[in-house]
Structure 1
Amino acid sequence: MTLLRTAPLSARVGMALIVLYALTAILAPWIAPYPEAEVVGPKYLPWAGPHWLGTDALGRDVLSRLIYGARNTVGIALLTTVLAFVIGTVGGLLAATLGGWFDMVASRVVDVLMAAPSLIFALLLLTITGTLVTALVLVIAVLDSTRVFRLSRAVAQGVLTMDYIEVARMRGEGLGWLIGREVLPNVTAPLIAEFGLRFCFFFLFISALSFLGLGLQPPTADWGSMVRESAKQIAFANFSSWKAASFGLAPLLPAGAIAMLTVAVNMVVDWVLRLSSGLKD
């Protein structure tokens, strides 16, 4: 609590926004006024009660889909980040601690995966495996675990040169002890900061795939696909009145939700990086 009280305003604002997004995702079925995919009225209704953000091209409530989009988009991005970190961190720490042939083979596999642009590689794999949520999560997590692998391996190699590691080895401590009790606690800060940055990347990456039609599939509410579905409305917008303007502003709602969460996470990551580096304001 003391640490939170001393946090800068930007970090506290970022944490408040993250909590708001988390609560929205968790409580989506209870706070959304309508079901996720239910057609509730005529298409393109203006912003007014009971549809406070209007309806989309099929007559679904936009506010409800935005709320459910928090659960789907953010939840899948978080799951993908956790999976990528488990794969990358375990692999990187093992490679640094064991060294030898395991380190060489793992590093070369990572180099091969990182050689191709991740978006193009993901599009290719998703075209082959299909766009099921399971395939989406696994493909993105495996591809981007390579970045986590390289970071965890690099910071672990710095720790493994310390005297207390040699003392632990002389005591006869096993691999599990070395990684879990000696290495991992000393590399936690940069990994936490990287977790936030990776989450932002996955969040934007999944939204981009959905915008291209290879992410979450209809009728699932997803912010990236909502931008794609409503993008054409900007070209036909009429800003002569508020009701007419709401038609053209519709694509900005999911885009703004994506941007706001990305900025919030980056503000918190900034603070964590400053703490881990020992810098003072």
Structure 2
Amino acid sequence: MTSALQKLHNIPATALFGMFVIACYIFVALFAPVIAPYGESEIVAYEFEPWSRDFWLGTDSLGRDMATRMIYGARNTIGIAFVTTLLTFLLGCVAAFLSATLQGWVDQIISRAVDVIISIPTLIFALLLLTIFGTSVYSLIIVIAIIYSTFVFRIARAVAVGIVVMDYVEAAQIRGEGLWWIMSREILPNAAPPLVAEFGLRFCFVFLTISGLSFLGLGIQPPAADWGSMVRENASLITFGDLTPLIPASAIGLLTIAVNFIVDWMLHKASGLKE
């Protein structure tokens, strides 16, 4: 118990704040059906009802409860962003470790393909691919994962190149260990610290991209609740001095800040520098 308290004491206040915010978001996302007062797409009143005891944040342009939409938006936006980030790292790390281990023409082909994808502006490329392949959740996840896996590839490959020349990797190759064994048992554990920090940072980019695409109408599609589309649907209220559209925008910003606080702490800890 004392050891756990000492560890918490050593964590900076910003990282603790980030952990608390993320824990709250996860709780809301997991228990959305229990917490929400109404159904996700249920029309409960007239459009643009003001804040009241029955409708904490008023209603939207269709008469749906904004507080309920915010709660379900946490589940949809964060859940899809997390799954997309996992797929992003799976694609990027596997390609990077293959490239660093095999080298030669395999490294050249993968690296040049990544260069081509990175050279195209991310948002424009995502809009183009989603226009071609449709705006389903599966298309959204795959398209964003492929685009952002190129950035993960660059970082993971830079780390892996320094690991594959180490003596323990050469010893594993001499023992006759297979390619997958070397990648999963030798490279991955030693590349984990910087990649874990990159996971948090990349999650922010994926999360913001999904929200941006939803704001433009090509992200998570109605009637599913999503913070990006909620800003677009209720943006006209700002003209009348209603701050309701700023609430989903603030939720997006707060989560991004919280994740960055934790990433900064993890990078500082991994660097070995003292406070």
Q: Return the alpha-carbon distance in structure 2 between the equivalents of residues 164 and 44 of structure 1.
A: 64
- The 5 A counterparts of 1:28-107 are 28-107=32-111
Q: Deviations over 1:66-94 (max 9, x none)?
A: 00000011011001000010000011011
2:61 is paired with a residue of what secondary structure? coil
Matched residue of 1:249: which SS?
Answer: coil
Q: 2:255 aligns with which of 248, 252, 261?
A: 261
Aligned length: 271
Give 1:234's match in structure 2, choosing from 238, 256, 270: 238
How large is the Cα RMSD of the aligned pairs? Answer: 1.2
Quote the residue 1:159 is aligned against.
Answer: 163
Of the three residues 134, 146, 149, the one matched with 2:150 is 146
Question: Aligned equivalents of 2:43 and 2:180: distance in 1?
Answer: 54
Percent of paired sites with the same residue: 58
Inter-partner Cα distance in structure 1 for 2:9 and 2:95 = 36
Tell me by how many angstroms 1:174 deviates. 2.4
Partner Cα distance (2:145, 2:180) in 1: 24
Deviation at 1:199, TM superposition (A): 0.4
Q: Structure 2 CA distance, aligned partners of 1:88 and 1:174?
A: 20
Determine the structure 2 residue equivalent to 1:241.
none
Q: Measure the CA separation in 1 of the matches of 2:187 and 2:153.
A: 15
> Match for 2:44: what amino acid?
V
* 1:271 partnered with 2:271: no
2-structure distance, mates of 1:110, 1:24: 37
Which residue of structure 2 lines up, in the alignment, with residue 170 of structure 1? 174
Matched, 1:192 2:196: yes
For 1:176 and 1:56, locate their aligned partners in 2 and report how far apart those are by CA, in whole Å.
51
CA distance in 1, matches of 2:236, 2:134: 27
Residue type of the alignment partner of 1:190: P
Q: Secondary structure at the match of 1:81?
A: helix
- CA displacement at 1:3 relative to structure 2: 4.1
Amino acid at match of 1:270: D
Q: TM-score, normalised by structure 2?
A: 0.96
Alpha-carbon deviation of 1:176?
Answer: 2.3
Partner of 2:24: 20
Using the size of structure 1 for normalisation, the TM-score is 0.94
The corresponding residue for 2:245 is: 251
Unaligned runs of 5+ in 1: 238-247
- SS state of the match for residue 143, structure 1? helix
Question: 2:115 aligned with 1:121, yes or no?
Answer: no
Deviates further, 250-259 or 173-182: 173-182
Structure 2: tracts of 5 or more residues without a match: none
**CA offsets per residue over residues 150-182 of structure 1, 9 Å max, x none?**
111110001112222222223333222321221
1:88-142 C-alpha deviation (Å, 9 max, x unpaired): 0011011101111111111111111111111101101111111111111110001
Q: CA–CA distance in 1 between the matches of 2:139 and 2:180?
A: 31
2:254 counterpart of 1:214: no
The more displaced of 42-51 and 74-83 is 42-51
